[in-house]
Amino acid sequence: MRKLISTGSPFEKTAGYSRAVVQGDWCFVSGTTGYDYMTMTMPESVEEQTRACLATIVAALEEGGFSLADVVRAHYYVTDQDYVDRVFPILGEAFGDIRPAATMIVCKLNKPEMKIEIEVTALRRPA
């Protein structure tokens, strides 16, 4: 069974992707930036953007029947090396006990206001 999950973001329709795809016991959450998809506004700080990314990811996971605790892989993309130490504590709050396999990359993102993007993969844990 395949389920497509959307936030209603105009980016999803324009670029032809889903916020997340559930396939069996797996949930693949697309790269998620800090936008508030209801207002299409972006917080200014990388810390606020990180929290917004995580909130969107949690909502997508929950819609698919998963939780943050099911995350087994995470990719983090930041636009400035100085952001790494600023987001680590926030990521640690979210994933500290879960401890997924993770990678952080410093790179450019699609829009200049984007400072972080997070992508996760989750595997449903046995009941």
pTM for the model stands at 0.94
So what's the pLDDT on residue 127?
A: 73
In angstroms, what CA-CA distances link 39 with 36, 60, 96, 106, 112?
Answer: 6, 18, 30, 27, 18
- Residues in the chain where the model's pLDDT stays below 70: none
Structure confidence at residue 116 (pLDDT)? 98
Tokens of 25: 């016991």
Return the pLDDT at 1: 86
DSSP state of 50: H
Query: What is the model's pLDDT at position 66?
Result: 97
Place of tokens 């997070």: 118
What is the pLDDT at residue 11? 83
